[in-house]
Amino acid sequence: MTDEARGFCLWFTGLSGAGKSTIAGIVASQLRERGRRVEVLDGDEVREHLSRGLGFSKEDRDTNIRRIGFVASLLARNGVVAITAAISPYRAVRDEVRGWMDDFVEVFVDTPIDLCEERDVKGLYARARAGDVPAFTGVSDPYEPPLQPEVTVRTEGRDPADSAGDVVAYLDRAGLLG
């Protein structure tokens, strides 16, 4: 496989409302402009179509992340840039999925929880704080940030395009874009 056709996984993780999907979408557009084949596996869409029926217990969350990881690994080994944007709160399962692929780039979208709450158009944080949403990541369920992500983007006070630029710059430096 040529470098230009080399697939890899770009795994965005962070709290709900951190900006994962927004930044992932910008990165996907930039990579497509460079002629790369790209698929985005968004956490909300995967839950709707691939993981329907799963709840939010630790076991169900782990199953959801493994499903996303499995699809991402299939795409990557076939020359596609698989971009995932899912909370993926537990470090051990993210690390497990990393082990399935040769090229796995973890992107930690590091956003303070108060800013995530401000961005929350669905009102999930308020509902979680009121006790109406049990086991909500960052409120009543843990989020385990990555210990050594390849890329950390801090979104507070930054334009999403700048954060996406940081990710693409890393991919260039790492030689993943050919």
Catalytic residue, candidates 16, 21, 73, 88? 88
CA–CA dist 140, 22 (Å, integer):
25
CA–CA dist 31, 106 (Å, integer): 17
Active site residue 163: no
Catalytic residues: 88
